[in-house]
Amino acid sequence: VPLCPFTFVLHGAAGDLAKRKIIPALGHLAATGYFSSDSVLVFAQREALSASECLAEVDAFLARAGDDSARQAIAALKPYFKTVQLSLGGPTAKADLAAALQGCPPLVVHYAALPSSRFTDLLDCLDECRDPERLRLVLEKPLGFNASESAVIEKAVEAKLDESQVYRIDHYLGKQAVQNLLALRLGNRIFEPLLTREHVAHVQITVAEDLGVEDRAGFYEQAGALRDMVQSHMLQLLATVAMEPPVSLEANSLRDEKLKVLRSLRVPKVSSPAEIVVGQYAEGYVRGQPVPAYRHEKGVAEDSNTETYVSFCTEVQTWRWAGVPFLLRTGKRMPKRFAEIVIQFRDVPKPLFEPVGGMWSGNKLIIQLQPDDKLELQLLAKTPGERERLRPVSLDLDFFNTWRIPVRDAYERLLTDILRGRLGLFLRRDEVQAQWHFVDQIMGNLHQLGVSPAPYTSGTFGPPAATAMALRAGAFWSEDG
């Protein structure tokens, strides 16, 4: 169904995120007929660039990134878009923006693909308007670098808009696998009763990246893995696995349940035996190629103490989950890109078959987000022959091969939701606050004890201390991805 006519203003159109994700996603939507012919896309940036110069720049960027499908898709944007030179924070910004929007469709979406330090400058350009059919604001993560910075931004938002107009992005919620996770839990009878402390030994969530900091040192030096990944994607994945079934799929029902989880998280202990390990990549080899240490990357301080890896053990302190370790880890320059959630079930109360060997060799549910969207249920089956011997076997569901339609990029899904006015896959203000509260406490404790990140060789799964930490929680990291 094509979308109603809209005006979409992309702030930060010259930035990396816009070129890599947002503009290609808009291109794919335009190419598949989502946009009505009178919709307008306005790309706002500091430099004066014509529409064709702007497209040429995006095309050159995508060519360097080797993304041919995005290069083809952006050609579909031509009929819809124009550029505006906008110096946010400058004296003429508000008037320049108003002039660019003259005669455009009245539903205006402002997408802030900007560092959060610029969000208030953008808000200064907007008039107060509390009608979601006229004005919507999209805010990229992270919202500030701690709870108090985030509160300052939220105050500026609140002064002009209602909560129903604000789309706080966490692009992991746009991934097909996360929506499948909801379907798996809430559309099936068989898993939900087992997701409790009686049956689950532990839960692991991994988001591993093989990339390093790339060209983002300016941002990453300030952020680090805790603020960049844990505060958003990792905690949202955790909340989606651990939340109680909501009363409906309506946005606030989902958000209410996730919020309860976020508020019930135990802060990991920093002192010995630590429940958190921070690391920073040293030089090494990833996919057979030599890569430099983080401290030697462009724009990184030689004595940088920014963590590029973090793993920790927490607990969701609710009746359902009390006592079950939740192990989370994320890092850059790991051996490969993969993201998964592993739910490890307890062993049977009385083993009757020959021991299988190994810790927790029994039932496991693996929800893989990356590189493929897959679901795997590990069971034990008897091996052929006389012996009463069990071996792990898998029931696999590969979503791509099941549906045989290409999975849409997370940003495409999120953009359609923004344009249709659906808030369910976006964060509410109190969720972001709860996430900051958790991460701020961890950062504060690390700082107080003077913990600095342990080096790990690029191409490995982080500092060895992470293995010991998982073992103390009764788990092995699942490393096969």
Is 233 catalytic? The answer is: yes
Residue 345 carries which side chain, given as an amino acid letter?
F
Task: Provide the 10 A C-beta neighbour count for residue 402.
Answer: 11
CB-based contact 210:287 (threshold 8 Å): yes
Whether 79 and 46 have beta carbons less than 8 Å apart is answered as no
Taking residues 315 to 354 in sequence order and writing x for each that binds ligand BG6 by CB under 6 A, - otherwise, the string is ----------------------------------------
Q: How far is the CB of 63 from ligand BG6 (least distance, A)?
A: 20
Give the Cα separation of 466 and 313 in Å (integer): 10
- Minimum CB separation of residue 15 from ligand BG6 in Å reads 12
- Tokens 């897959």 appear where? 374
In the bound complex, what is the minimum distance in angstroms from residue 171's beta carbon to ligand BG6? 6
Q: Which is nearer to ligand BG6, 122 or 410 (CB)?
A: 410
- 209: contact with ligand BG6 by CB under 6 A: yes
Instruction: Please indicate if the annotation marks 47 as binding a ligand.
Output: no
Residue of this chain nearest to ligand BG6 (CB atom): 228
Check whether 175 is labelled as a binding-site residue. yes
Q: Which is nearer to ligand BG6, 223 or 324 (CB)?
A: 223
DSSP codes, 211-252: ---TT-HHHHHHHHHIIIIIIIIIHHHHHHHHSPPPSSSSHH
User: Which residue is listed with tokens 């606030």?
Assistant: 252
Site for ligand BG6 in 355-384 (CB under 6 A): 370
Q: For residue 469, what are the contacts with CB-CB under 8 A and spacing of at least 6?
A: 273, 274, 275, 276, 277, 311, 312, 313
Q: Is 336 annotated as a binding residue?
A: no
Which residue, 174 or 362, is less far from ligand BG6 as judged by CB? Answer: 174
Bridge partner residues of 329 (DSSP): 206, 311
110 is in an annotated binding site: no
Task: Select which of 233, 296, 437, 447 is catalytic.
Answer: 233
The CA angle 159-143-167, to the nearest 5 degrees, is 65
**H or E stretch at 203:** strand 200-208
The size of the interface with ligand BG6 (CB under 6 A), counted in residues, is: 3
141 is in an annotated binding site: yes
Write each residue from 226 to 245 as x if it is in contact with ligand BG6 (CB under 6 A), else as -, in one continuous string: --x-----------------
Site mask, ligand BG6, residues 165-204, x = CB under 6 A?
A: ----------------------------------------
385 vs 382: CA distance, rounded Å: 9
Least Å distance, CB 169 to ligand BG6, is: 9
With respect to ligand BG6, which residue has the nearer C-beta, 35 or 281?
281
Nearest Cα residue to 117 out of 37, 219, 202, 264? 219
Q: What's the closest the beta carbon of residue 209 comes to ligand BG6, in angstroms?
A: 5
Q: Residue 340: what are its φ and ψ, rounded to 5°?
A: -155, 160
CA dihedral 203, 209, 210, 212 (to 10 degrees): -140
Task: Tell me: is residue 430 an annotated ligand-binding position.
Answer: no
Q: Going by C-beta distance under 8 Å and a sequence separation of 6 or more, which residues neighbour residue 442? A: 226, 267, 268, 270, 276, 312
Q: Which is nearer to ligand BG6, 137 or 230 (CB)?
A: 230
Question: Is 209 within any annotated ligand binding site?
Answer: yes
Closer Cβ to ligand BG6, 209 or 373, answer by number: 209
* Active site residue ranges: 233
List, as residue ranges, the binding site for NADP(+): 46, 141
Q: What residue ranges bind ligand BG6 (CB under 6 A)?
A: 209, 228, 370
List, as residue ranges, the binding site for substrate: 171, 175, 209, 228, 332
List, as residue ranges, the binding site: 46, 141, 171, 175, 209, 228, 332
